[in-house]
Amino acid sequence: MSALTYEEALRALQDRGRFGIRLGLGRTRALLRELGDPQLGLRGALVAGTNGKGSVLAIAASALREAGQRVAETPKPHLLTYRERLQVDGRLVDPATFARLVGEVLPIADRVARRHGQPTEFEILTAVAFRWFAEERVDVALVEVGLGGRLDATHAWDGGVAAITNIDLDHTDRLGPTLTHIAREKAAIIERGDLAVTGATGEGLAVIRRRARRFGVPLTEVASPPLVGWDRDGIVVALPRLGETRIGLRGRHQAANAAVADAVLDALATAGIAHVDDAARRRGYASARWPGRLELIEVAASGDRSPREVLLDGAHNPAGAAVLARALDDLRSTLLGGDEADPPPITLVLGSMADKDVAGVLSALAASQVARAARVVCTEVDLPRALPAARLARGWAAVAPGSRPEVVVPVAAALERALADAPGPVVVAGSLYLVGAVRALLVDDPALRDPARPGVDAGDAAGATAVAAEPLVLGGPEALVAAR
């Protein structure tokens, strides 16, 4: 077939989404075999778990880069472009290379389909990732499991280190109704010859221990280290060997993720895959970034407007909303400023997908004193799955009696309203699609710009497709933003 444009590759890949999620390794293994098994030349860590996988990748990869290692990552989900899911040394795969790789894999997927059934969108992306990483001759790969572990496409690869962040109830329709069921699915990434790391506790840890014993795999168990303190730019934890160490990610929950990431680096060193000394770890941990997860963006003053700060956090499930709620209360004075006893109220911009536990998310978020006192603007992204903003507003009014949430659509108008009238910081939460749309409006990052799609308004499409928007100009061309 002729070479695909980026738009054609993207459309062909998205078209595979009609096959949905179908767990199983047969299709992915067949794809990789037809590609010459590029994954066999890669070593690194496969990271599973209910929460924290992306943070562990961000922290460990940052330290590996500081140590001079050429590191590949597969963070997910993406906020703006599919290309975020394929990174080498923090650099996204470029559109032309992405299109070429997808064009190479699609005909193979058609051949595989005759015997194994049609490969899914995620399975094709997994094959594309391993092929690109092999071409790039990376030193170490950090691969995030998509769903579960045992039958996830990424489990077609064994890099030598298996990490499981934690075990909690999630995707029970596919992974099973109990913690034990879910732990079995995730623990299955531990293979004979591996080194394993986990931050799990309770029932989940018991299952992981049994799996490791069965295959004779050394298992490192880590506990969340003591939290020494926090400020608007991250946290400080006391790691066993490093002592007091700054982590550049916000939220006390990142202490546990930092411990797992540190143990993953130890395992990579023991396995002879990559060595990261203490100095590189300190630098890497302090400079770690994870877009859209308690990410602070500063919007510079423009015209008669004062500077604004926007905190972005996906918080699309009750556990994530509880983390955000705790972080808002923790950062009451350092983020909100003013008198600690009476800081200015925040403005919450909320959006959600209709198929999420919206009531659970809102209840968890409303547990925050700061959130309950917030001015709330409800909006919706332009997607069929989006929850109507009016319904979301009624939901917030139910969990925060006395509040009067506004309804503003589309997203750009909601953000403009929030920034124009906010007495304090703006917090955007409830959906990674919403976070992606807002981030596209605030951060002009050339690396995230996909080639323009004819006939599509980039501002409307941001967050709903792989198209990056033009930056939102707030009050004049001199408005600037900086993500931290």
For residue 456, is pLDDT > 60?
Answer: no
Are 93 and 201 members of one domain?
yes
Tell whether 158 is covered by a domain.
Answer: yes
**229 vs 170 pLDDT, higher one:** 229
Q: How many other CB atoms are there within 10 angstroms of residue 274's CB atom?
A: 23
Count of CA atoms in the C-beta half-sphere (13 A) of 116: 18
Tell me the one-letter amino acid at 126: T
Are 337 and 358 members of one domain?
yes
**301 vs 64 pLDDT, higher one:** 64
Instruction: Provide the pLDDT confidence category of residue 378 given band limits of 50, 70 and 90.
Output: very high
Residues 360, 439, 154, 276, CA torsion sign: negative
Q: What is the DSSP pairing of strand 91-92 with strand 44-48?
A: unpaired
Q: What are the structure tokens assigned to 376, written together?
A: 């709330």
Tell whether 203 is covered by a domain.
Answer: yes
Cα separation of 227 and 238, whole Å? 7
Are 186 and 240 members of one domain?
yes
Amino acid 453: pLDDT: 61
Amino acid 73: pLDDT: 98
Q: In the beta sheet, which residues pair with residue 160?
A: 44
Here the CATH number for the domain that contains residue 78 is 3.40.1190.10
Amino acid 121: pLDDT: 92
Taking residues 308-327, what's their average pLDDT? 91
Are 252 and 374 members of one domain?
no
For residue 469, is pLDDT > 50?
Answer: no
Domain end (from 253, 269, 287): 287
Are 300 and 213 members of one domain?
no
Give how far Cα 467 sits from Cα of 197, 263, 352, Å: 37, 37, 20
Look at the chain and report how many structural domains it folds into. 2
Tell whether 138 is covered by a domain.
Answer: yes
Tell whether 317 is covered by a domain.
Answer: yes
Do 119 and 112 touch, CB atoms closer than 8 A? yes
For residue 259, is pLDDT > 60?
Answer: yes
For residue 478, is pLDDT > 50?
Answer: no
Q: What are the structure tokens assigned to 146, written together?
A: 């998509």
Amino acid 480: pLDDT: 34
Backbone angles phi, psi at 18, to 5 degrees: -65, -20
For residue 457, is pLDDT > 80?
Answer: no
Q: What are the structure tokens assigned to 460, written together?
A: 């409307």
Are 277 and 300 members of one domain?
no
For the chain, how many helices (H) and strands (E)? Answer: 18, 18
Instruction: Provide the pLDDT confidence category of residue 421 given band limits of 50, 70 and 90.
Output: confident
Tell me the per-residue pLDDT of 263-306, one tens digit each, with 9 for 90 and over: 999 999 999 999 999 999 999 999 999 999 999 998 876 665 66
Among 41-45, 352-356, 471-475, which range has the highest average pLDDT? Answer: 41-45
Taking residues 442-460, what's their average pLDDT? 69
Are 232 and 304 members of one domain?
no
Domain end (from 236, 252, 287): 287
Taking residues 412-439, what's their average pLDDT? 93
Amino acid 18: pLDDT: 59
Amino acid 447: pLDDT: 87
For residue 455, is pLDDT > 60?
Answer: no
Tell me the per-residue pLDDT of 78-93, one tens digit each, with 9 for 90 and over: 999 989 999 999 999 9
For residue 107, is pLDDT > 50?
Answer: yes
Are 321 and 254 members of one domain?
no
pTM, two decimals, is: 0.89
Instruction: Provide the pLDDT confidence category of residue 475 given band limits of 50, 70 and 90.
Output: very low
For residue 400, is pLDDT > 60?
Answer: yes
For residue 465, is pLDDT > 60?
Answer: no
Amino acid 337: pLDDT: 57
Tell me the per-residue pLDDT of 7-35, one tens digit each, with 9 for 90 and over: 999 999 888 875 566 777 999 999 999 99
The whole domain housing 211 covers: 6-287
Domain end (from 254, 287, 320): 287
Lowest mean pLDDT among 316-325, 381-390, 449-458: 449-458
Are 303 and 425 members of one domain?
yes
Place of tokens 């604004």: 308
Tell whether 1 is covered by a domain.
Answer: no
Largest CA distance in the chain: 67
Q: What are the structure tokens assigned to 86, written together?
A: 């394929």
Tell whether 307 is covered by a domain.
Answer: yes
Here the CATH number for the domain that contains residue 320 is 3.90.190.20
Q: What is the DSSP pairing of strand 87-88 with strand 91-92?
A: antiparallel
Q: How many other CB atoms are there within 10 angstroms of residue 298's CB atom?
A: 15
Are 57 and 193 members of one domain?
yes
DSSP string, 171-200: -HHHH-SSHHHHHHHHHTT--TT-EEEE--
Radius of gyration of the chain (CA): 22
Are 252 and 344 members of one domain?
no
**464 vs 279 pLDDT, higher one:** 279
Helix axes 254-270, 53-66, angle to 10 degrees: 50
Are 99 and 195 members of one domain?
yes
For residue 383, is pLDDT > 50?
Answer: yes
pLDDT, mean over the chain:
89
